[in-house]
Amino acid sequence: MKRVFVALLLFAGMYSSAFAQDPVPLQRIQGTIELDGISDESAWAGIEPFPVQMYAPVSGGAMTERTEIRVGYDDDFLYVSGQMFDSDPDGVRLNSLYRDRWSGDDTFAIVLDTFNDNENALWFYTSPAGVRFDMAVSKDANGFGGGGGSFGGGAINQSWNTYWDVETVVTDEGWFAEMRIPYSSLNFQEIDGQVTMGMIVYRYIARKSERHTYPLIPPNWSMGFAKPSRAQTITMAGVTSQKPLYITPYVTGGSTGVNSLNSDETAYEFNSELTRQAGLDLKYAFNSNLTLDATFNTDFAQVEADDQQVNLSRFSLFFPEKRQFFQERSGLFEFSTGRRDRLFHSRQIGINDGETVRILGGGRLVGKVGAWDVGVINMQTEAVGDVASENFGVVRFRRQVVNDQSFAGILATSRVGEDGSSNFAYGLDGTFKVGTDDYLDLKWAQTIDEGIVDSLGFNIAEAAYASFQLQRRNDIGLSFRTGASYSGSQYEPGAGFVQRNDVTQLSYDFQYGWLSPEDAGLRTHDGSHYANIYFRNEDGSVESIRAGGSWDFSYKSGARARTSLNYIVEDLTRDLSFPEETTVPIGRYSFVEWQASYNLPDGNLIRGRTEVNAGSFYDGHRYGIGFSPTWNVSKYLELAGSYRFNRLEFPDRDQSASIHQIGVKSQVGFNTKVSLNSLLQFNTSSKRVESNVRFRYNLAEGNDLWIVYTENLNSDRFRDTPALPVSNNRTVLLKYTYTLIK
C-alpha cells in the first residue's frame, strides 16, 4: 500500500498546472482617478484593455456587444474599469438595488486568486445600479453535477463581505463601471517586492445569457468563469498591504416576549422584557496575509432567518452557516466527510437545537504563514438553561504539495463544556492532482468523546473515519467520482455534523457531457449514472442503496432542465415518523422515484424553478410538486415565492399526509444604502407561521442601522390542551454598528 501511495505522489508530481502561462504585469496607474464610473481620466489612457472573448453561449464565438475591461493599480488600491457598450441600452437589465442580491441583472466582475494557489479566490461584481456583490470561492469552484452522488457543492460562499467601492453610470451607449478595492481587503503574499495573483474578469449580458471573459476559458466546467486554476497570472510591483485596525462596536436594544405555560399548566402567559447590550468586533491584519478577527459579547440579530425544511428522510436536517464572523476564508476550515457531513461545522457554535446561544467572545485567525494556510478559531458560549457554557477550538494547517493543485493538511477541533463534557477530533486530508483533470482525495479522522469513552471504552477503529476518492473534474467529456469510506460507531465529531456513522460506503458517479452544435437551441448535455451503497459495520448487511441515472441539459437562452430516475433501498432498524402521524415500521424497503426540474433563464424579469417527483416511498407512495417564482417588479422591488406540496400515502396502514410549504419573500431597495427584507414562511407539518423582517440603513461601509422583527405564530391553536397562544414568541430589536479605522 505504501508503494502504491508513493507512486501516486510521483505521478502527481508530473502534473503542475495544465494551464501554465506567462504572467501578465498589471500597469501602474499614473495620475489620479475619480471614482465616478466613467473612465475618462488620463490615468486610464495608458492602460490597455484586455482581449476579452465569448465564454457563453458559444465558447470563442462572435461577441454581440463591445466590451472593454481594464485593470490598474497604485500604492493603495486595485482599480477595475468596465465599459459595457450596448446596441440596445433599454435592454440592459437593472433589476435590483439590494446589496448582495443578484436578481438577473447585467453584471461586471473580477475574480482574484490572491494567493495564486489555484483553489481559492475573492469575487467582486456589480450591476448597472452600482450594487455591490462579493463572494469567496473555494475548491476551485468545483461542484459535481451528478445528482445521485454524495459529493459536490459548497464552493461559493455568498455570505462573505469586505470593504470596497464601486460607481456605475448608464447612458445611451450602454453602462460603465469603476471599482476600487483596497489592498487591506485582499490578503496576499509579497515576495521580493512583487505580488503574484490569478485574475479573471468578465461581463455578463443577462437578456442574452452571454458572457465575455478574460482569459478565454474552455467551457469544460459550469463555473469555469470563476475557477482559480483557470485564471490569468498577473503581477504587481512595489505593492504592500495596508494593515488598518477595524474597530466595530455595536449596541442593541428592543423587546423579547415568549408565551409559556403558567405554573398550573392551565393557560399560556406572555412574558416580555426589554433587552439591551453592547459588544465589539475587531479586525486586524498582522501582515499582508494573516488576519485576526476578535469578537466580544457577539450578536447576530441581523442575520437572515433559515428557510423552513420538512424532513422526509431518516436523517437530521442540515442548515448552512450565514453569520458573517465565520465567513472569511471559511473554505480553509472545510473537511468534508460526505454530502453534508463535515468534521467541523461552525453552526455548532452558538446555536443549539435551532435556538441562539449567546457567544461571550472569541477570535479567529486566518491567512498564510510561509507555504502554510493557517486557521485558528476559539469561541466561548454562555450557559443557557440546561445547556452548559462551552469552549470551541479549531486549528487548521494546509499547504500545497507535489504540484500547484495538490494540497495536504490537518484539522483539529475541541468542544469542552463547563459541566465536564468534552469532545476532541482531528483529521488528515490530502487532494493530489494525478492527471490533467484527475484528483485523488484521501482523508482520515478520529474523535474522542468523553461520554462515549466512559460508557464503551476507547477503540481506535470504532472512533475513526477514513475515505479515498478518485475523481475527474470536468463537465465536458467523461467525468467521474468513485471511492469508499468507513466510519466507526464511536465516530462523533462534537464540533462537526454527521448524519450517519458505523457504516462503510461504496460509491461511483460516471458522467458524460457534450456541447451542442453552434446553431442548436441547446447548449450542453450531461448524462450520468451513479450509485451509493452503505453497509453496516456490525454484520455487513445493507443499510441503504441509492442508484440511478440523470440527464441534465441547458439552453443557450440560459434555461436549464434535469430529469432523473432512482432506485432506493432502506433497511430500517427503528420506526420512522413523518408529518400527520404517518409512520413507517421497521423493515426492509425498495422503491423507485422519478424527479424532474426546469429553471427559467436567470436573465428574465420573471424567473424561477419548477420541480416534480413521483414514485413509490417505502411501502407506500409519494408525489410532489414545487414552484419558486421570482418577479422583479422594478429595480426597487423584488417579489419571490415558494410553494412545495408533498403527498404521502401508505394504503396498507390507512395512513396519508398532505404537506404544504409556503414562503413569500420581498426585497425592497429604496436605494443602494436603504433596504427592507421580509420573509413569511408556513408549513402544515409544524403548523407554525414564521415571519422575519429586516430593515437596513447602510450609512457608510461598516456603519449600519438594523431594525429586526421576528414572530412565530400558531396556525392551529386547538391541537393541544390548553389551547396554544396565537404567538409563540415575538422579538423587535434595533442594532447599530459603527466601524472605526485606525
The pair phi, psi for residue 96, each rounded to 5°, is -150, 150
- pLDDT band of 187, cuts 50, 70, 90: confident
pLDDT of 695 higher than 60 = yes
pLDDT reading at 462 higher than 50: yes
Dist CA 34 CA 11 (whole Å) = 52
Measuring CA to CA, how many Å separate 158 from each of 170, 216, 320, 636?
Answer: 26, 25, 11, 21
pLDDT of residue 148: 32
Decide which of 79 and 356 is more confident. Answer: 79
- Cell triple for 32: 489620479
Q: Which segments of 556-619 are extended strands (E)?
A: 560-572, 576-578, 582-584, 587-599, 606-617
| Per-residue cell: 639 | 417579489
Closest to 715 (Cα-Cα) out of 679, 681, 685, 689:
689
Residues with Cβ < 8 Å from 245, sequence gap 6 or more?
282, 283, 284, 741, 742
- Beta pairing class for 620-634 and 637-650: antiparallel
Assess whether pLDDT exceeds 90 at residue 457. no
For the segment 124-142, what is each residue's pLDDT rounded down to a tens digit? Answer: 999 999 999 998 898 888 8
More confident site: 244 or 228: 228
- Give the pLDDT confidence score for residue 452 in this predicted structure: 86
- E-strand spans in 1-117? 24-25, 27-28, 53-56, 67-73, 77-85, 107-113
- Is the pLDDT score of 149 beyond 60? no
Question: Which of 45-49, 96-100, 623-627 is the least confident region?
Answer: 96-100
Contact 702, 736 (CB under 8 A): no
Q: Work out the pLDDT band at 158, boundaries 50, 70, 90.
A: confident
pLDDT of residue 7: 44
pLDDT tens, residue by residue, 632-673: 898 889 999 999 999 999 999 999 999 999 999 999 989 888
Distance, CA of 379 to CA of 348 (rounded, Å): 11
How far apart are the C-alpha atoms of 298 and 378, rounded to whole Å? 13
Does residue 681 surpass a pLDDT of 70? yes
pLDDT at 321: 86
Q: Domains in the chain, start-ordered, CATH in brackets?
A: 20-237 (2.60.40.1190), 502-686 (2.40.170.10)
Q: What is the DSSP secondary structure assignment for residue 580, as one 8-state letter? A: T
**Which cell goes with 693?**
423582517
Residue 303: pLDDT over 70: yes
How high is the mean pLDDT of the chain?
89
Confidence (pLDDT) at 720 = 86
* pLDDT (0 to 100) of residue 241: 74
Summarize the confidence of residues 382-411 as an average pLDDT: 92
Which DSSP letter does residue 208 get?
Answer: G
Dihedral sign, CA of 253, 280, 729, 663?
positive
Q: What is the pLDDT of residue 508?
A: 96
**35 C-beta neighbours (distance < 10 Å), count:** 13
104 pLDDT more than 90: no
Smallest Cα–Cα separation from 221: which of 140, 302, 112, 119?
Answer: 140
pLDDT band at 288 (very low <50, low <70, confident <90, very high): low
Residue with cell 441581523: 302
pLDDT at residue 518, rounded to an integer: 83
Compare 241 and 397 and report the one with higher pLDDT. Answer: 397
What is the mean pLDDT of the segment spanning 303-310? 84
Q: What are phi and psi of 613, to 5 degrees?
A: -150, 150
Q: Which amino acid is at 85?
A: F
Angle at 475 between CA 472 and CA 476, to 5 degrees: 100
What band does 169 get if pLDDT is binned at 50, 70 and 90? Answer: very high
Give the pLDDT of residue 110.
97
Average pLDDT over residues 581-595: 96
The rounded distance, in Å, linking the Cα atoms of 13 and 468 is: 19
Burial classification of residue 322, based on how many CB atoms lie within 10 Å of its CB (0-12 exposed, 13-18 middle, 19 or more buried)? middle
Taking the C-alpha atoms of residue 630 and residue 640, their distance in angstroms, rounded to an integer, is 4
Helix (H, G, I), strand (E, B) or coil at 306: coil
Tell me the sheet residues that pair with 718.
Answer: none
Predicted local confidence at residue 154, as pLDDT: 65
- Range with the poorest average pLDDT among 14-18, 207-211, 405-409: 14-18
Helices vs strands, H then E, count in the chain:
3, 44
**Amino acid in the structure at residue 336:** S
pLDDT score, position 151: 30
Rounded CA-CA distance 276/623 in Å is: 48
Q: Give rounded-to-5 percent helix, strand, coil for the chain.
A: 10, 55, 40
Other beta carbons within 10 angstroms of residue 625's beta carbon come to 14
Q: Mean pLDDT over residues 269-276, rounded?
A: 90
Return all residues near 190 (Cβ < 8 A) that are at least 6 apart.
239, 240, 241, 288
Which of these ranges, 10-24, 314-328, 376-390, 488-502, has the smallest mean pLDDT? 10-24
- State residue 150's pLDDT score: 32
- Report strand pairing: 24-25 vs 232-237: parallel
So what's the pLDDT on residue 262?
A: 87
Residue 152 confidence (pLDDT) above 50? no
* H or E element in which residue 451 lies: helix 450-456
pLDDT given for residue 36 in this prediction: 94
At 548, list the grid cell. Answer: 440511478
The pTM for the full model equals 0.83
Examine the pLDDT at 302 and tell me if it is beyond 90: no
Q: How confident is the model at residue 417 (pLDDT cuts 50, 70, 90)?
A: very high
